[in-house]
Amino acid sequence: MQDQTVSTWVSVTAKGVNFEEFMDMKSEVSHVANAEPVCPDLKHSSLVTLDHLPAYRLHDQFIFYKPEKALTDAFQGLGNGRERMEQVASRIANAMSPSKKNRSLKNISSSDTNIHWTLSTASTLYWRVKGDAVNAIKCLRHSLNNSPADMKDISLLSMANIYHQAGFLHSALIACGSALGISPNLVAIHFTLANIYSSMADYNNALQFYYSTLSLQSNFEPAKERIRIIYCNSGQSVNLRNRFEVL
């Protein structure tokens, strides 16, 4: 099988959250802006952050994790128009600053910091593009610790992606399975689970989740292509029209 470590991401806006309520989109940001959205490091361990997983205990030693450049457009889309990645990062970093200016926004204080979970969630995307697992996990832990229960799947999906990319497949599977329990009908979660199973060479479960991806979004071409690859490598033919009438 070809490499299945395809990056997936779900924005908070996909779940009805208006990201602009937590970040100033009107002020100008310098073209040479270089502030980075660094999240606070939670000192305590929590079940919701899945600190018990082997991948977390070794997340500062990920030698196979690379920058997820495919997510660059998604990150730039969080900004105002055609801003460069560095400008969007600075805009988020400014929103995370506990200044009076930013308190005028709906930047509701979290339980342990003045940083709203939507901002730490967005910051995760920046660090994924940069290939910095340590800072990405730091932001994910903050987001998971402070986000509402029905929003934690967004961060869990990112966590699953990072662990998958780093080669910790069982940890990735647990994180993504937790996300599925929160949002059983989210296409990106089904597709990510399928990719993880495929990397584990568990093609029966991979096919199950590729097909469930198509049952949720029948025109999702990446899932169709991966189904064909699995059948091709097994010497079988596949007719997606007959299976789910998705073509």
C-alpha distances out from residue 16 to 120, 132, 139, 150, 186, Å: 17, 28, 21, 11, 14
User: Per mean pLDDT, which range of 29-33, 106-110, 142-146, 188-192 is the poorest?
Assistant: 106-110
**Please, which pLDDT band fits residue 133 given cuts at 50, 70 and 90?**
very high
In terms of C-beta distances under 8 Å and separation of at least 24 residues, what long-range contacts does 220-227 make, across chains too?
A: 220/187, 220/191, 222/6, 222/191, 223/191, 223/194, 226/4, 226/194, 226/195, 226/198
For residue 237, what pLDDT is reported? 57
- Cα 83 to chain centroid distance, Å, stands at 21
How far apart are the C-alpha atoms of 14 and 174, rounded to whole Å? 23
Q: What percentage of the chain reaches a pLDDT higher than 90?
A: 69
**How many CB atoms sit inside 10 A of residue 133's CB?**
24
For residue 121, what pLDDT is reported? 96
